[in-house]
Structure 1
Amino acid sequence: MSEMVDRAAGSKPDVHDMVVVHRSFRQACAQLPDLVRGVRAGDTARAALVVDEVRFMLMGLEAHHTSEDEYLWPLLADRAAAHAEAIARMEEQHHRLEELVTKVTGALDGLMAAPQPAVCAEVADQLTELGLVLTAHMDEEERTILPLAAEHLGVAEWERLGEISLAKVEKKHLLRAFSALMAVATPAERRTFLAKAPLPARILWRLSGRRAHARREARLYGA
């Protein structure tokens, strides 16, 4: 009933927020392989910092994809049956990405405990492969799935997808995730996110989130 009311009112969700989320993943995939390759042999402190950044990205990716698996694909499969092949392809791509994420995750403890050039190169190559597959997936999702979501989902339903994804992120990482998203957003996109965010999140981001993100970036990239 809520879906019928939402659609009857002529309202459509602003699916562009997904593009900004994807932009954050694109940036991470472009940067992480070089960060891993740059870890010096035996530098366990640097390895721990870089591994933490990799794990943070993988955590966000898992939350993002499992929320689509559990919520978005079933909705679209029910309402956009003519595009069943494209939706099934998204699911298949997720399975492939899960395999690559598992491979990277399995190598991180070894990288952190004993960073050596061969180990760093192996993990960096795995991250590069993950980035290539993920980028192709996000490209197709933006071309085919987001227009379908805008057509077939109501505003509340689209917002529910974001809520499900956020619920899968540990609370201690929520401000970090929001700050990382805001860092890749344009000024206009940032205003949109702030308008939707709860007041505590807006306050925390202004008081500490931006600075914490800048400090983390400086430690990672020396800026």
Structure 2
Amino acid sequence: MTTTQNTTAGTAGTTVTQVRLPGQAAAPDGPIDPFMMYVMHHAFRRDLAGFVRCAPHTPVPDRATWHALQERWSLFRETLHHHHAGEDAWLWPLLESRCTSAEKAVLDAMEAEHGQIDPLLAACDDGFAAMAAGADERSRDNLTDVLGRTQEHLATHLAHEENDALALIQQYLSEDDWATLEKRFGEDNRLRDLFRVAPWAVKGLDEDAYRQLRPRIPGPMWVIARLGSRSFRRGERRAFRYDPDVAI
């Protein structure tokens, strides 16, 4: 991670070299290094793309694979819920206390978009449960459709957040503010959770992404990701065995 002097806002300070990952819409300049937010966004985009590809190709009678997909969906769902709940509880209120009235519209939109995505996620929950219980081709078609709409809505939301909400973060939060928020986001994580989430978070990152993230992510987290990777890959092979585009 490198820094340069930032004088574009009219005040002295530093600008962190921002992480840029595949699919990311923007990375506003500023003193905060929200790299983990970008990692999570990459993982959310990656997962939904995988579910959208895989669902229509998974045979309806293969209930074992649908059970594996349902379990894998639960990991995505829990992680996304934790991410959005933390933003709604801590991040947006902190920004709202500091930004202008006009800028609060961005934060109102963030919460509203979370509310629009939630029913789609619930419909996906129901769809995966139905397929795992033994459903029909129409149920699979319905699940494929709602997964596509979920992907579209979440992609729009993440791009909005990266372009506009991250700009407010860079403008109004200090490094100490961000460190406190990151601690709050992680305070309920158990070691068992880290062994699930760490290999999930770094799945599919290319060499350039690893180069950017290596000095940012603490060494113990890389160790946990490696230790959990074998079990994680087994689960990926079970769930995404019919993915037409990706070799697990």
Q: Which residue of 2 aligns with 1:70?
A: 89
Question: Once the 2 structures are TM-superposed, how far is the Cα of residue 183 of structure 1 from its aligned partner?
Answer: 2.3
Kindly provide the amino acid, as one letter, of the partner of residue 69 in structure 1.
D
Aligned counterpart, 2:177: 157
Shift of 1:170: 6.3
Contact 1:33–1:127 (Cα < 8 Å) also in 2: yes
Q: Within 1, Cα distance between the matches of 2:110 and 2:145?
A: 24
2:137 is equivalent to residue 86 of structure 1: no
What letter matches 1:121 in structure 2? D
> Structure 1 CA distance, aligned partners of 2:88 and 2:202?
25
Distance 1:167 1:41 in 2: 40
User: Which amino acid counterpart does residue 214 of structure 2 have in structure 1?
Assistant: R
2:77 is the alignment partner of 1:58: yes
Q: Where does residue 215 of structure 2 map in the other structure?
A: 192
Which runs of 5 or more residues in structure 2 are unaligned? 1-11, 15-30, 242-246
Percent identical among aligned pairs is 23
SS at match of 1:79: coil
Q: Distance in 2 between matches of 1:16 and 1:91?
A: 21
Q: How much does 1:54 deviate?
A: 1.3
State which of 31, 35, 38 in structure 1 corresponds to 2:50: 31
CA shift, 1:70, in A, is 0.2
Are 1:179 and 1:213, in contact at CA under 8 Å, matched by a contact in 2? yes
Describe the shift of the 1:180–1:192 C-alpha distance in structure 2 as closer, same or farther (beyond 3 A). Answer: farther
Which position in structure 1 is the counterpart of 2:140?
A: 120
Aligned counterparts of 2:59 and 2:106: Cα–Cα separation in 1? 43
Instruction: Judge which range, 114-123 or 91-100, deviates more.
Output: 114-123
Q: Which residue in 1 is equivalent to 2:151?
A: 131
TM-score in terms of structure 1 length: 0.84
- Number of aligned residue pairs: give it: 212
TM-score (norm 2): 0.76
Corresponding residue for 2:164? 144
Change in 2 beyond 3 A, CA 1:170/1:37? farther
Counterparts of 2:83 and 2:188 in 1: how far apart (Å)?
8
Give CA-to-partner distance per residue, 1:73-129, whole Å, 9 cap, x none: 101111112401111111110110112112222333222111422111111211111
Task: Give, in whole Å, the separation in 1 of the partners of 2:189 and 2:117.
Answer: 19
Cα offset, 1:50, TM superposition: 0.9
Greater shift, 11-20 or 31-40, is seen at: 11-20
- Give a deviation string over 1:147-167, Cα, whole Å, max 9, x none: 211221122322333333334
How far apart are 1:20 and its partner, in Å? Answer: 1.9
One-letter amino acid matched to 1:47: W
* 1:171 CA drift (Å): 5.0
CA contact (8 A) 1:30 1:131 kept: yes
Q: Mean alpha-carbon deviation: is it higher for 183-192 or for 141-150?
A: 183-192
User: Structure 2 CA distance, aligned partners of 1:117 and 1:68?
Assistant: 37
Contact between 1:68 and 1:161, CA under 8 Å: does it hold in 2? no
Tell me: higher relative CO, structure 1 or 2? Use CA pairs within 8 A at least 6 residues apart: 1
1:72 maps to amino acid? L
Considering only aligned residues, what root-mean-square deviation do their CA atoms show, in Å? 2.4
